[in-house]
Amino acid sequence: MLSYIFVSMTTTDNIEERKKQIEIILVDRWLSGGFKEFARQVSESESDIKILFELNDSADEKIAWRSAYIIDMVHDYKKEAILPYLTRIAEKAPHVKNHSIKRHYCRILAQHDLSELASGSLLDSCFEWLQMQEIPIAVKAHCMMILYNLCEEYPELIPELKAVLENLIPYGSKGEVNRAKSILKQLNKIQKK
């Protein structure tokens, strides 16, 4: 059972052993479920959160993606547990090739004030991803929110974001089009202030 593996893991002081145990959960126990409880428990362990971030860099895409999924769930349970990693996420997101990890990173970033952390690389990547058809809809939706949230602090971004969203409408999916139209309305309200 998943919780039994996690509980036994908390008794070890060996970080490498703990990392291997988390990998087992992410690979061998994935189909057994229980990840909400696993994420809730991990949210209370700084060392396990650190291990999950290390596993994001795993050469095994399954481990990398699943660790990002758990990090996203930890964020849902306890945002403050992930706050120390926001800068890292903002810096890594533009370089992530795996769309699943990108989705989880962007989802986390979209829920925070990034006015102090957002780099030109993150902004450029969000604008670029919005214009790429191969980027999944969820990543685009989170990018729209990241950019919209930054427009409040940096209104000079509004014209570029409006142009990108207007260009997305003719070919985007229903979800993309609906989100783009909603954000365009909100951007118009910001401009009228």
Exposed/middle/buried for residue 127 (C-beta within 10 Å: 0-12, 13-18, 19+): middle
pTM score: 0.89
**Cα–Cα–Cα angle for 191, 124, 173, rounded to 5 degrees:** 75
Please count the other Cβ atoms lying within 10 Å of the Cβ belonging to residue 17: 11
Please count the other Cβ atoms lying within 10 Å of the Cβ belonging to residue 85: 19
The residue that leads in pLDDT, 8 or 72, is 72
Contacts of 18 (CB under 8 A, 6+ apart): 9, 12, 47, 48, 51
- If you average pLDDT over residues 183-192, what whole number do you get? 90
Give me Rg for the CA atoms of the chain. 18
Give me the pLDDT at residue 12, please. Answer: 54
Give me the pLDDT at residue 31, please. Answer: 64
Q: Give the H or E element holding residue 47.
A: helix 46-55
Give me the pLDDT at residue 55, please. Answer: 96
Give me the pLDDT at residue 4, please. Answer: 40
Using the 8-state DSSP alphabet, how is residue 30 labeled?
G
Tokens of 157: 């971004």
Q: Which of 34-43, 138-147, 150-159 is the least confident region?
A: 34-43
- For 27-45, how does the pLDDT look when each residue is reduced to its tens digit (9 = 90+)? 887 766 678 888 988 999 9
Measured CA to CA, the distance from residue 9 to residue 101 in angstroms comes to 25
pLDDT at position 119 over 80: no
Give me the pLDDT at residue 168, please. Answer: 93
The residue that leads in pLDDT, 6 or 88, is 88
Using the 8-state DSSP alphabet, how is residue 131 labeled?
T
Assign 13 a pLDDT band (cuts: 50, 70, 90). low
Q: At what angle do helices 35-42 and 46-55 cross, to 10 degrees?
A: 120
